[in-house]
Structure 1
Amino acid sequence: MIEARGLTKRYGDKVAVDDLSFTVRPGSVTGFLGPNGAGKSTTMRLLLGLDRPSSGAALVGGRRYRDHRAPLREVGALLEARAVHPGRSARAHLLALARTEGIPARRVDEVLDLVGLTAVARKRVGGFSLGMGQRLGMATALLGDPRTLLLDEPVNGLDPDGVLWIRTLLKGLAAEGRAVLVSSHLMSEMAMTADHLVVVGRGRLLADTSVSELVARTQDSAVTVRSPQAARLAVLLGGVGATARPGEGGALEVHGAPAARIGELAARHGVVLHELAERRSSLEEAYMALTRDSREYRTDAPGPAADSPATAPAGAAR
């Protein structure tokens, strides 16, 4: 289990993480979302003991990371997949890590096979593509067969087959009872992978909820209706308190009445319908609505916000 308790991190007068509390429980994939500058990477570094919190506690398995005698067996992490000596082979890199905690060499070969790198295990990492580097990062995270995983953008650089492989792998690891925290900017992928979401903005918690609950919170109730009698239907809808506006291709966009009620109204008055489709918000739309005021860059702004990377203190993570 992963716990952040009142976690705060300051870099000078910049607050990267601000009184953040959440729990990642075993048996589920928890998506860790937020705009650039939200504090996601800083939070992960705090959880892994790479930075000291200004206040609060960052715990994995009920302890600080540095207090675990065999951290690789407790926590698997992927923060910087390419943080490997380019002159080493993939197998040599993993073997060196394995020896620090008495992990047998056969486990190195197991994880290389698991991530699909057996054929290039003895090649120098410096020649690896971005996707191959990500696979090696996953092998490193899985080396100690840990109960907890913290993964920062694990699908970055992967082709569609690789993305599907990561998704299946993470779901399988969670099904085995592991706690999985994964950050990503790919909302469509999070919608298919995550069971739970922790959303942060400007270092603060914005949401700690399931995917379905977050989407439902910002549900757009618009219904698209196509009918050869659209004008008459619009009048009927106005009579029941709904609003019908012209949409694309002659369709009506209806607010204030669910699809079932619109269909019943049309049937009752003999109005022919060619299409009746209730529009459902995506996770991306829900996320964008939630984080609207927490982004460093806005398409409606003339330039970067005051705390953008150009002006943020060194060391403040995204």
Structure 2
Amino acid sequence: MIEAVGLRKVYGKKVAVHDLSFTVRPGIVTGFLGPNGSGKSTTMRMIVGLDRPTAGQVLVDGKPFSAHRAPLSTVGALLDAKAVHTGRSAYRHLQAMAATAGIPASRVHEVVDLVGLGEVARKRAGGFSLGMGQRLGIASALLGDPATVMFDEPVNGLDPDGILWIRNLMKELARQGRAVFVSSHLMSEMALTAEHLVVIGKGRLIADESVKAFVDRVQPRGVTVRSPQVEQLRELVTAEGGTLAPREDGSFDVRDLSAERIGDAAARRGVALHELTTVKASLEEAFMELTANAVEYQAHRGGDQPPVVVPEPATPVREEVAR
């Protein structure tokens, strides 16, 4: 369990994290979301003592991470998959970690098999692909059989099969009663994996709630309607003050009317409906809308703002061809 209370981190004149409080509870997967530069990495580093808070505190199972006598068995963290000795094999890397922490060598074999590196465990980690490096980082995080696991972008570099594997792994770890805290920019994965969200922007808390509650903050995107009585449906929607647009699959997208109002009007007019579905915002759409004012580095997204124009160089550049 992770408890952050009034966390603040200042680098010079830059406030990276501002009065941040949240709890990561055991038994569920908690997603940690925020735009680039929002303070996610700084917060995760403070949890495991790599950065010291300017103010506030963060506790793991009731006390600071540094106060635990067996840190690898308290929090297993994947913060940088490249933080390995590239000249060592995956097995030797894990073996060195285990020996330092007093973890039985048998555990090394267990985590190697768990993450699917059995065939390459004796090869140098420096030659690993990005996905293989991620698997080694996950093995390192799980080596101490910790009660709390913390992953920063764990699916980075994984193929679809690997993404499905890590998704199921995180759910299984939570099912075992562990606290699972995962940072990711892949909203589609968070929608499938996380039950709870901690969302920050510019170092400040934006949301600490269930995925459903976060998405429900955003207005529905419309209603999908399907009916064999197309003209009657069109007349109904227009009479009720809505707009109707056809979709490629034969259904219709209705705006400015709720599903309840459409259903009631259809019942009164005797119009058969084969589908009536409220279209809610996706997690990605909700995230983009609710963090729009907390983006540190924002590129042009269209609309009324003019595009960024890159000026031509003052002096033409000529390509010299060797003769």
TM-score (norm 2): 0.87
Tell me the residue number matched to 2:192.
192
Contiguous gaps of at least 5 residues in structure 1? 304-318
Distance 1:251 1:70 in 2: 58
Tell me the residue number matched to 1:222.
222
SS in 2 for 1:228: helix
Distance 1:298 1:247 in 2: 32
8 Å Cα contact 1:221-1:258 kept in structure 2: no
Shift of the 71–244 alpha-carbon distance from structure 1 to 2, 3 Å rule, reads same
Distance 1:46 1:133 in 2: 24
Tell me the residue number matched to 1:19.
19
Distance 2:49 2:96 in 1: 21
1:202-243 superposed Cα distances (whole Å, 9 cap, x missing partner):
0000000001111112141511345233542233213xxxx3
Tell me the residue number matched to 2:239.
236
Tell me the residue number matched to 2:312.
none
Distance 1:289 1:173 in 2: 31
Tell me the residue number matched to 1:110.
110
**After alignment, is 247-256 or 195-204 more displaced?**
247-256
Q: Which amino acid aligns with 2:61?
A: G
8 Å Cα contact 2:225-2:274 kept in structure 1: yes
8 Å Cα contact 1:237-1:244 kept in structure 2: no
Tell me the residue number matched to 1:290.
290
Report deviation, 1:251: 6.9
SS in 2 for 1:118: coil
Distance 1:163 1:94 in 2: 23
1:236-278 superposed Cα distances (whole Å, 9 cap, x missing partner):
213xxxx325465697643443324313312322445575442
8 Å Cα contact 1:229-1:272 kept in structure 2: no
Q: What RMSD in Å do the two structures reach over aligned CA positions?
A: 1.9
Distance 1:105 1:155 in 2: 27
SS in 2 for 1:169: helix
Distance 1:274 1:121 in 2: 55
8 Å Cα contact 1:77-1:151 kept in structure 2: yes
Aligned pair count reads 299
SS in 2 for 1:299: coil
8 Å Cα contact 2:28-2:196 kept in structure 1: yes
The answer as to 2:80 corresponding to 1:80 is yes
TM-score (norm 1): 0.88
**After alignment, is 122-131 or 63-72 more displaced?**
63-72
8 Å Cα contact 2:234-2:244 kept in structure 1: no
Shift of the 275–125 alpha-carbon distance from structure 1 to 2, 3 Å rule, reads same
8 Å Cα contact 1:244-1:255 kept in structure 2: yes
**After alignment, is 225-234 or 41-50 more displaced?**
225-234
- Whose radius of gyration is greater, 1 or 2? 2
1:145-183 superposed Cα distances (whole Å, 9 cap, x missing partner):
011111100011111111111111111111111111000
Tell me the residue number matched to 1:311.
none
Contiguous gaps of at least 5 residues in structure 2? 309-323
Tell me the residue number matched to 2:41.
41
Tell me the residue number matched to 1:209.
209
Q: Which amino acid aligns with 2:152?
A: D
Distance 1:116 1:107 in 2: 14
Tell me the residue number matched to 1:158.
158
Distance 2:67 2:126 in 1: 33
